[in-house]
């Protein structure tokens, strides 16, 4: 016997949708949604395909959000099987995007189809927000759709993002928030010169080192009940011409803050700059705010999802805000309750990405049960 969610997952994995390409995944989803009575708006921006689909005109609005794009495969010859040929082995379904996040996309569709068949006159609205720009720069994807919805005053009440959140066993983790990401490119200016005449030069490496050491040792905040303490890490550092007898004229360092709601981006900028100023550095910083932190406190949506997970798997899901950023940070601007739930994430972005075959039908059943609670 075949399972409709597994069948659709295989169909989507077979499509090469390396970011920002969609490859036709969204067309497959759209045709099935339109057959269920959805109104679908395609929103293409630049090279990115997005769509917003909705069934119903009243609230509450329950939205499923996700992305059809996948990261590059890496060397094909290091995969057990072709990355865009869905392959089952030892209870696992292999293929790029299997866990991140084509199983979730398939689960959205089949859960909605089953729910609508049982509840053709359901109250409220079901919506989908899908992009092909989550694994890339994320500038023409979800954020652009959210901007369009905000401009016309269209809000979402509950949103489930299909990111692969499970850690050790399927169903053990729901993300109810994510840390913010604040990056900076620091340039410290010195005076280039001959290394034998240091009194005629000004070495930015020597000048910056004490300040960077102080920043690396700083305690930025205590975190809170939902987020760990803020971290600061240098990712790249460079100075010099490559010659061994030249004092460099500049040092550049790239760094990143991961922060929760105990700190603000502006506050972190001010504190970092204060350290550099105290060390008397001549410097410039180019800041990039990758995303603000968002948090959904335990409530209607997380309770409904936890109950559905328990019913299908017997697992008591925990709420967590760990990990990197997601498109949930954009959706939180128009939706007060945003959570993420999906398959085990152990193989995402790796060679031989896979999802457990047995988990895929359960994933769709969990999404359907959640719809039953919220709109049934």
100-127 burial, b at 16+ Cβ within 10 Å, e below that, comes to bbbbbbbbbbbbbbbbbeeeeebebbbb
**Per-position b or e across 8-23, b if 16+ CB within 10 A of its CB:** bbbebbbbebbbbbbb
Q: What pLDDT is stored for residue 32 in this prediction?
A: 98
Catalytic residue, candidates 22, 49, 100, 134:
134
The one-digit pLDDT tens for each residue of the chain (376 residues) are 589 999 999 999 999 999 999 999 999 999 999 999 999 999 999 999 999 999 999 999 999 999 999 999 999 999 999 999 999 999 999 999 999 999 999 999 999 999 999 999 999 999 999 999 999 999 999 999 999 999 999 999 999 999 999 999 999 999 999 999 999 999 999 999 999 999 999 999 999 999 999 999 999 999 999 999 999 999 999 999 999 999 999 999 999 999 999 999 999 999 999 999 999 999 999 999 988 999 999 999 999 999 999 999 999 999 999 888 899 999 999 999 999 999 999 999 999 999 999 999 999 999 999 999 999 8
pLDDT at 135: 96
- Alpha carbon 10 to its chain's center: 23
User: Exposed, middle or buried by CB within 10 Å (0-12, 13-18, 19+), for 255?
Assistant: buried
pLDDT of residue 39: 98
How would you classify the pairing of strands 173-175 and 92-94? unpaired
Strand partners, 40: 53
Q: What pLDDT is recorded for position 323?
A: 85
- d(CA 22, CA 2) in angstroms, rounded, equals 26
Angle, in degrees to the nearest 10, between helices 103-118 and 359-375 = 40
* The pLDDT value given to residue 1: 55
How far is CA 222 from each of CA 129, 154, 230, 259, 262, rounded to the nearest angstrom?
Answer: 35, 37, 8, 11, 7
Instruction: Please identify which of the residues 49, 69, 157, 163 carries the catalytic annotation.
Output: 69
| Annotation marks residue 69 as catalytic | yes
pTM of the model: 0.90
């Amino acid at each position: 016997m075949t399972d409709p969610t597994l069948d659709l997952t295989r169909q989507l994995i077979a499509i090469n949708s390396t970011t920002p390409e969609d490859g036709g995944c969204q067309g497959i989803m759209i045709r099935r949604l339109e057959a269920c009575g959805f109104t679908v708006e395609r929103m293409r921006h630049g090279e990115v395909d997005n769509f917003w689909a909705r069934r119903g005109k009243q609230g509450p609005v329950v939205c499923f959000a996700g992305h059809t794009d996948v990261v590059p495969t890496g060397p094909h010859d290091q995969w057990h099987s072709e990355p865009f040929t869905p392959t089952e082995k030892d209870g696992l379904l292999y293929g790029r995007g299997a866990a991140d996040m084509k199983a979730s996309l398939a689960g959205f569709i089949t859960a909605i189809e089953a729910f609508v068949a049982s509840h053709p006159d359901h109250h409220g609205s079901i919506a989908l927000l899908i992009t092909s720009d989550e694994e890339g720069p994320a500038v023409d994807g979800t954020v652009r759709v959210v901007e369009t919805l905000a401009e016309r005053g269209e809000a979402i009440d509950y949103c489930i993002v299909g990111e692969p959140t499970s850690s050790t066993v399927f169903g053990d983790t729901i993300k109810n928030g994510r840390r913010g990401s604040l990056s900076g490119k620091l340039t410290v200016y010195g005076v280039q010169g001959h290394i034998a005449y240091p009194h005629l030069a000004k070495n930015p490496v020597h000048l910056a080192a004490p300040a960077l050491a102080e920043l690396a040792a700083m305690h930025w905040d205590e975190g809170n009940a939902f987020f760990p303490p803020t971290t600061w890490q240098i990712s790249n550092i460079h100075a010099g011409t490559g010659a061994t007898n030249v004092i460099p004229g500049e040092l550049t360092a790239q760094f990143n803050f991961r922060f929760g709601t105990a700190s603000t981006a502006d506050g972190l900028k001010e504190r970092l700059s204060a350290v550099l100023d105290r060390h008397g550095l001549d410097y410039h910083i180019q800041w990039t705010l990758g995303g603000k932190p968002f948090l959904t406190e335990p409530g209607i949506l997380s309770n409904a999802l936890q109950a559905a997970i328990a019913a299908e798997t017997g697992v008591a899901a925990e709420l967590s805000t760990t990990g990197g950023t997601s498109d949930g940070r954009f959706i939180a601007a128009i939706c007060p309750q945003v959570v993420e739930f999906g398959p085990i994430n152990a193989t995402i972005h790796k060679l031989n990405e896979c999802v457990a075959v047995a988990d895929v039908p359960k994933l769709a059943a969990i999404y359907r049960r959640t719809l039953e609670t919220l709109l049934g």
